[in-house]
Amino acid sequence: MSVDAYLNFDGNCREAAEFYAEVFGLDKPKLMTFGEVPPHPDYPLPEEAKNLIMHTRLNIGGSNVMFSDVFPGMPFIVGNNITLAYVVEDEDKIRSAFDQLKVGGTIVMELQETFWSKLYGQVTDKFGIQWQFNLGMGEF
């Protein structure tokens, strides 16, 4: 059993998912658009929704992260209620991902040694997603 993060985007889900796949060295994600969903006669699909992403998923460091665009007319609120933690034992992978995610984003905390990790940092990427980077699991 797992707990997976699900991220919503305001029309740029395709760009975000492909960007994250590149950052973490993954295959290009399989993307399901709203236009691929079987039509429902009582709920016609607006033209502007057809190419929006209904669902995609990436496995980043062994954890599933799912993505979707919000449906037209639904509220989209950028918030700080989700942070993704990238925890690996490979310093090079942490540095590479951090360096790519900070482009166009904001560094919250530079990669550095902390009392719980030899390497830890935080960045908010260009899509407003907050990331934590931690070398290993430590004692916690």
CATH classification of the domain holding 54:
3.10.180.10
Instruction: Say whether both 61 and 88 belong to one domain.
Output: no
Which pLDDT does position 83 carry in this prediction?
76
Contact 6, 67 (CB under 8 A): yes
Token pair recorded at residue 91: 């310093």
Number of domains in the chain: 2
Contact 70, 13 (CB under 8 A): no
Domain housing 110: 84-135
Instruction: Say whether both 61 and 9 belong to one domain.
Output: yes
Which pLDDT does position 139 carry in this prediction?
46
- Residue ranges, the chain, pLDDT below 50: 1, 139-140
Instruction: Say whether both 40 and 94 belong to one domain.
Output: no
Which pLDDT does position 40 carry in this prediction?
82
Domain boundary among 69, 93, 115: 69
Which pLDDT does position 50 carry in this prediction?
95
Q: What single letter denotes the amino acid at residue 55?
A: H
Angle (nearest 5°) at CA 81 between 80 and 87: 95
Which pLDDT does position 4 carry in this prediction?
79
Q: Is residue 79 part of a domain?
A: no
Which pLDDT does position 138 carry in this prediction?
53
Instruction: Say whether both 62 and 88 belong to one domain.
Output: no
Instruction: Say whether both 23 and 64 belong to one domain.
Output: yes
* β 5-9/63-69 pair status: parallel
Instruction: Say whether both 88 and 65 belong to one domain.
Output: no
